[in-house]
Amino acid sequence: MEIIHKETCVRFIPYAGQNDTYIEFIKAQGCGSQVGYRPNQDLPLQVAYNDYCLSIRGAIQHELLHVTGLFHEQCRPDRDNYIKVIWDNIQPQFRRNFIKGPDNYVTTFGLDYDYKSLMHYPRNAFSKRSTLLTMIALNDTEMELGQSDGPTFLDLEKVRRMYKCA
């Protein structure tokens, strides 16, 4: 939360029982959260985590960026200009994580594709075997994709533009 506070105008404040939207962290079997606040949704916004999630430096930051409204980078409507998704190598139950979002729902905010985004899965994510690639960069097939160290400048710039931070 600290880097989001420091680098954007988004603020997470302790919940004090009011009826505003809030985030609830729940122990679960995996890591996950929904993307963004939806006005008529049931409260709270939930961030699911387990011990594995807590062992990965940027995992909770990734989920908090979902809560702010960011989608996976590989789901951008223009992603086919930058990466190739190798559908045959993806476990069927996880293919939804690679579906492009529609232009009117997933925006690029006019920013470049971020191969190293915290919101980008690695190039073997959800593969049928760990040696199989599920995505490759078109301009460099050896390029590693994504990372788990923390948000990139472009990740934070998307949040700043989404929330119209000064």
pLDDT averaged over 10-residue windows placed end to end, the chain, 166 residues = 94 81 91 83 86 93 95 97 98 96 89 98 97 97 95 98 92
What is the pLDDT, as a whole number, of residue 39?
Answer: 67
- Residue 96 to residue 119: CA distance in whole angstroms: 15
What is the pLDDT, as a whole number, of residue 15?
Answer: 85
What is the pLDDT, as a whole number, of residue 102?
Answer: 86
72 is in an annotated binding site: yes
What is the pLDDT, as a whole number, of residue 43?
Answer: 75
Q: Which of 5, 4, 42, 48 is nearest to 26 (CA)?
A: 48
What is the pLDDT, as a whole number, of residue 73?
Answer: 98
Is it true that domain 2-162 has CATH number 3.40.390.10? yes
Give the H/E segment covering residue 66: helix 59-68
Residue type, 160: R
Q: Which of 71, 63, 72, 69 is nearest to 1 (CA)?
A: 63
The token duo for 162 is 């989404």
Query: What's the Rg (C-alpha) of the chain?
Result: 16
CB 26 within 8 A of CB 47: yes
Residues involved in catalysis: 63
What is the pLDDT, as a whole number, of residue 19?
Answer: 65
What is the pLDDT, as a whole number, of residue 18?
Answer: 73
pTM confidence score: 0.91
Residue type, 119: M
Give the H/E segment covering residue 55: helix 51-55
66 is in an annotated binding site: yes
120 is in an annotated binding site: no
